Structures are given as structure tokens and as C-alpha cells.
A and B are shown apart, each in its own frame.
Chain A
């Protein structure tokens, strides 16, 4: 019921909920569409990402471990950790900022589509004044027309008020297409981050990973559980190939997989050549190296068994490095190894493992050099290399919507091409003797079009009045 005086609410009558809700929605929408809001959200995104560059970020996935070698420990910087600043990109507040950006983009889309529609399909919806652009002092629209046609501008008649000349009319859609692409990328990326699953297997030749066994490393989105591998996988062999200089040229593995106990399918998996197996995407990890099974004998006679996985060096002749701790050993053990000249992971002849005992950058308290099946003293600890085998990693993932993200990128590029390579141009010639208005969308490419704003405007001016020597007035 409508009250006669909208400013007064009658006793016992509650305010109309839908209208106040709609009012709130429209206020929020207006706020999100404000230029300053959009600018602030963009700045917030830039700043957040910049902070993630400055503060070392924690990571769990082995392919990124090398990047995080300077990561900070939560114990050292509890405040940073509690704010999530050591893992910014996986914090809810970063998702919130991205969500805000998505909302701004989404809400601005209808307006942009409307504008493009009006300019390309429903001619004459906007007045010449409302379109902005550059204004040329008019003398005679008739004098302009031949010049406009010479510059490739076609004509559309808009009622009795003005004639509209245009070029690359459909490029007005560049803006909405570009922003739609951004919406698709941000929305699907958020979806992928929430639903993606990824697991890493670290295998040695002959080793079998069974369904339900734990991953070497895994990560999953907030709305899904860890990835489940519905079958077994066995690494049959690992085959690295090297360039003459000793750098890795190719890395491939022979895998056996099956979803039932007696099924065995063989595939060869290469780096950069992913396969789809059991409905999951399989990638060969880019890392491999040697695993050392060590027995450390403590001064009291206790034995400690440990496995040390060291990455293959950048090239033969260089060393692969790693640090590890053993229960009962006072200091961390720093390890490096030289794989020997043979290079093949199966060949361990010439392979040397260097162990050092020491804290951080402090002095080395003991060191020793060991080969396969050899033992030696590392200070007061006896260390024996029981076995050396090669290892590699297989990455298995399930992600939805990746093709959509690339499609979003394509839309951004397509919108950018329309805006900046074939920018829309239009000139409105009023029939009532008012100023002629030229309007150029986006930017223009470095060809003859580049000079268009100058030479085109000038030629228009010349067409109007050859003696006129005025600069175009910006609006």
C-alpha cells in the first residue's frame, strides 16, 4: 500500500522491504561502478601481488620449491603468518579482492554492451554531445562529405538532426569484449582454484603406487578433497637424454598403469607432452635425480635409516644439492652429489656423495665423501650408503575450465585488437550548422592511421575552411 506521504511511515506499517533492498542493491552497484572504486580495486590487486613478490611465499609443490628457498618460517614471523602474508595468493582475503574486481567488471558489462549496441545497431540513440570526442568548428557539412569519404568513412543518416560517418563501426564492441574476457578469466580462475586437484608422485624405477596411497605432495581447492588416483601406477624405467655439453635434453619415463589388479597398460610419458589417463591429466615432472638410502649409526650404537633425494645437477660435472635432518644427529646435514660422467641414472659408477655437518652458514664441524655401498665417518657418526636409485616425479591433476580461461584470454586479445588495431572512428555532421564532432575509440596502430587524428582533423578543417588555422578543441 502506498502511503500518501512517502516521507512518513504510518504506525504499524513496516517499510516496504523489496524497495529498500533494491535501493541498497542499487547503492552497492553505484558504489562498485564508481571510477574511483574500480581504480582502488585495481590498485589493491597490484599492491597485493607486489607484496607477494616482496615477501617470500611458502609453497608445497616440489616444482616451486626452488623458488621458495628463501621462504620465511612461521615461527620467525608469527604476525606475517597470521595475516597470511607468507601465502597471500591462497588467502581468503586475496580471493575477496579478486571477487571484488570480478563484481566491478560484471556490473560494468551491461552498460558497455548497451553503449556498443546503441552505436552499432540502434543508430541515433545518443546525441552528438553525449559522445564526447573532438569538436571541429563547422562551416558547412556539405564541404566535409567528400573528405570524409576519401578517408574511408561510410555514412549513416540519423534522423533529421545529423549525419553520422563511421569507420570500423563494429570495433565499438572492443571494450565490452575485452571486459567480458577479463570476467571469464577471473571467474574461471577462481573456480579452478576452488575445485582444482593436483598430486605429485615421486617414484623410483620398479616402484608401484597403489590406489589410495599417499601423494608425495598434493594440493586441492577449498571445495574439494585431495585427488584420488583410481588405479595403480608403476614406473618401469626413467630415460634421460643429454646434450653433448651435459645439459638435459629430454626426459621420459615408461609407466604401467591399470584400474584393476590384472590390467596393465603401458605408456611413455615425456616432459611437456601430457597424457590423459584414467580421466586425469598426467605430466612428467621436470625434476629427477638420485635417491640415497643411508644408515646413520649414532655414538650410542643406534641406527637411523633415512632416504635422501637429491636433484640432478643443472649439467653433468656440476653438483646437485640438498639439506636434511636425521633424528639423533645434532646438526643438519648438507649434502651434494656428482652423478659421474656416465649421466645415466641407472649407472652409479663414479657417483660421489659429499656430506657436511654444520649449522646454517656456520663452520663445518665434519665432512665425508661416500660412494655407493661405502661407509665413512661424519664426525662422531658412521654413515653408510646402502643403495642409490634414480627418482623422478609424475604430476597428476584434475582441473575444470582451463579451455574457458584460454577463451577468456582470446576475448581479451580480440577486444584489444578491435580497440587498438582497428579503432572505431565516427564523425557526426549536424544538419543544423552546429559543430562537427569526430570521435575515435581506443588507440590506433602505427600505420597511416596513426596520423589520422592530426591529418584527418586538419583535412576536415581544410575542407571546412582552407584558411582556418585553428587547433581542434578537446572536449
Chain B
């Protein structure tokens, strides 16, 4: 076990230690919360939420520490991108849950997904990368921030789509206790609308940033293109629901497809192909 002075001289070691602490909180929180919801154990559910909140607090400190050490926000390199995305998902969900306890069911998907994001990040290179000259813009902060918020809202919506499908296809006793599929379906619709909106804001901020840095508001860069496709697909989803009466399991499957597309846009394309965005996910 390294001594405290050695740790203090190594910002990365503190960062990783705090991240593992947060992950421990997330694992415990996810398990207790899921147990509490599935087996109707209020105490376990409350414990799960408490652990998740504590984990998010430690995780927040880890991100602030890294921000201080690197001199830039947590949006460069896989480690930072995955970690900060997970933190935003947890925090936004906890806020939403606080405001509207009816959303607690979404924790069945949001908590494990967030834990998974941080855990994957921890297995990537945690070395601090420095900002390239094009990344010094306030629009970049808005661009990145709103994509994370969009991911968080879409993840909450995904939870309800997953539950809609599960409730339709399974006869598990605990699924029967959930609200009707119509109710679950409505939540995914509403969060899809919010995700669509935040995704649009993120694209707007990105296009202003691109115009400032490269002289183009749109360059058909692979990541831009995938992002646009995701946005249009969610637009299509909203259209199908509103004008074609899509709902229930059919809409939930489409939501799932759109969500997969959004994950590919945010985390996959940067790995698959060269792009002017590549610096953020290498």
C-alpha cells in the first residue's frame, strides 16, 4: 500500500484511487437498489440510492482533482470522456429522481450503465493529455457538456423502453407490479424529446466551435455525420410516435436502435475512423 506522501506526489494515483472508490459505491448502490426495487425492500432501495449519491460525490471530487491536475475539463481521452459521462448520468438521474420519485424505476438501468462506463474507463490509459490549440474554446465546453446531458436523458428514456419490452415479454412477478406499459412508454417518449433537444443544443455549440476553429460550421466529419444521423433518427422516432401512432413495444425497439446509434456516435466512431474529433477519444 503506497504511503500518503507518495500518493500526494502522484496526481494520477489519487485520481485512480478516487475513481475506484466511486466505482465501489456504484457497485454496492446498483446491487442494493436493484434488490430493493425487485423485492420491494424499501430499506435496500434507500441504501442503494445513498451509496450511489456517495459514489457520485467521490466521483465528482475525482473529476475535479483531475481537472486541477490536467488544467482542462474531463473531455479528452477515453478515460476522462467515459468517467465524466458516467458522472453526468448519475447526477442528472439523482436530481430527476429527487424531483420526481416516480422515476425511480429507471435506476435499474441507469445505475448499472453508469458503473459500466466508469469501469470501462478505468481499463483505458489514464495518462493526462494536453489540449490541442483547437480545443481552447468555451463552445467546446457547451458542446461536450450538452452531449453528456443528452446521453443522460436518453439513458433514462432507455430504461423505460427496456422495461416496456420486458413487461410485454416476461411474466416475472416483479414486472407485473410495474406501472402499465402505456405509462412506461410515455416516459421514454418524454425523455426522447428531451434527449433530442439537448442533442440539438450540443450540435449547435459544436457547429459554432467548428466555425471558429476550422472555418466550417459543418464538415461532414465522420463523428459529425453519425451525430446528425442519431439526431435525425430520434426525430424520426418522435415523428412516428406523434403522427403514426407508434407506441408500446414497437416504439421501444426503435428507441433501443436509436440509443445504440447514439452510443456509437459518442464512443464508437472515434475508435473506428480518423476524424478531426479524434483527439478526444484516443
| A63 contact set on B, CB distance < 8 A | 214, 219, 276
Closest B residue by C-beta to A196: B216
Residues on A with C-beta less than 8 A from B190 are 420, 443-446, 450
Interface contact B236-A448, CB-CB below 8 Å: no
Q: Which 6 A-B pairs have the closest CB atoms?
A: A443-B193, A443-B190, A416-B197, A446-B96, A420-B193, A409-B204
List B contacts of A420 (CB < 8 A).
190, 193-194, 196-197
- Chain B neighbourhood of A49, CB < 8 A: 225, 228-229, 232
Contact residues in A for B215 (Cβ distance below 8 Å): 198, 274, 281, 283, 395, 397
Q: Verify A57–B220 contact, CB threshold 8 A.
A: yes
Cβ contact within 8 Å between B222 and A402: no
Give the distance in Å from the alpha carbon of A442 to the alpha carbon of B134 in the complex.
37
Residue contact A250 to B133, C-beta cutoff 8 Å: yes
Which of the candidate stretches A21-29, A39-47, A159-167, A205-213 sits at the interface with the other chain?
A39-47
Which residue numbers of A lie inside 8 Å of B, CB to CB? 35, 38-39, 42-43, 45-46, 49-50, 52-53, 57, 63-64, 66-67, 69, 89, 189, 198, 243, 245, 247-251, 270-272, 274, 281, 283, 286, 395, 397, 402, 405-406, 409-410, 412-413, 416-417, 419-421, 442-448, 450-451, 453-454, 471, 474
Which one of A64, A248, A250, A421 contacts B219 once the chains associate, using CB atoms below 8 Å?
A64
Cα of A46 to Cα of B226 in the assembled complex, Å: 10
> Are A67 and B222 in touch, CB under 8 angstroms?
yes
Query: Is B211 a contact of A67 with CB atoms below 8 Å?
Result: no
Give the chain A neighbours of B275 by CB distance below 8 A.
67
A402–B217 alpha-carbon span in the complex (Å): 8
10 interchain pairs (CB within 8 A)?
A39-B244, A45-B232, A247-B130, A271-B133, A286-B214, A417-B197, A419-B197, A420-B194, A443-B190, A447-B99
Q: Are the CB atoms of B233 and A450 closer together than 8 Å?
A: no
The answer on a CB contact under 8 Å between A413 and B204 is yes
A406–B214 CB distance below 8 A: no
**Complex CA distance for A337 and B192, rounded to whole angstroms:** 49
Task: Choose from B192, B197, B212, B214 the contact partner of A413 (Cβ within 8 Å).
Answer: B197
Smallest CB separation, B118 vs chain A (Å)? 22
Contact A410 B236 (CB under 8 A): no
Return the CB mask of B220-244 against A: 1 if under 8 Å, else 0.
1110011011001101100110011
Judge whether B222 and A446 touch: CB under 8 Å.
Answer: no
Give the residue of A35, A67, A406, A443 whose beta carbon is less than 8 angstroms from that of B221.
A67
Given A46-B232, A448-B100, do A64 and B276 touch, yes or no (CB 8 Å)? yes
Selecting from B34-42, B168-176, B181-189, the interface stretch reads B181-189
Q: Known: A189-B218, A395-B215, A413-B201. Contact between A451 and B102, CB under 8 A?
A: yes
Once the chains bind, are A410 and B133 in contact (CB under 8 Å)?
Answer: no
A446 touches B274 (CB 8 A): no
Given contacts A46-B233, A64-B276, A420-B194, A52 and B220 within 8 Å (CB-CB)? yes
Q: Are B214 and A53 in contact (CB under 8 A)?
A: no
The reply to whether B193 and A453 form a contact with Cβ atoms under 8 Å apart is no
Question: Distance (Å) between the CB of B109 and the closest chain A CB?
Answer: 15
Partner of B212, one of A50, A274, A419, A453: A274
Contact at B213–A272, with CB atoms within 8 Å? yes
Knowing A46-B233, A443-B194, A454-B102, say if A53 contacts B225 (CB, 8 Å).
yes
Beyond A247-B130, A286-B134, list 9 extra A-B contacts (CB 8 Å): A46-B233, A53-B226, A67-B222, A247-B129, A248-B132, A397-B215, A416-B200, A446-B96, A454-B102
Partner of A271, one of B134, B189, B236, B273: B134
Report the minimal beta-carbon distance from A271 to chain B, rounded to whole angstroms. 4
Q: Nearest chain-A residue to B193 (Cβ)?
A: A443
The residue on B at minimum CB distance from A67 is B274
In whole angstroms, how far apart are the Cα atoms of A446 and B186 in the complex? Answer: 12
CB of B23 within 8 A of chain A? no
Q: How far is the CA of A198 from the CA of B216 in the complex (A)?
A: 10
Q: Closest residue to B128 on the A side, CB-wise? A: A245
> Which B residue sits closest to A45, measured CB to CB?
B232
Return B133 CB to nearest CB of chain A, in Å.
4
B256 on the A face (CB < 8 A): no
B251 close to chain A: CB less than 8 A? no
A446 neighbours in B (Cβ, 8 Å): 96, 99-100, 103, 153, 156, 190-191, 194
Does chain A have a CB within 8 A of B203? yes
B207 at the interface (CB under 8 A from A): yes
Q: What is the CB-to-nearest-CB distance from A223 to chain B, in angstroms, rounded to a whole number?
A: 19
Interface residues of B in 129-173 (CB under 8 A from A): 129-134, 136-137, 153, 156
Task: Give the residues in chain B near A67, CB-CB below 8 Å.
Answer: 221-222, 273-276
Any A CB within 8 A of the CB of B178: no
Contact indicator B212/A272 (Cβ below 8 Å)? yes
Query: Could you say which residues of chain B place their CB within 8 Å of the CB of A43?
Result: 236
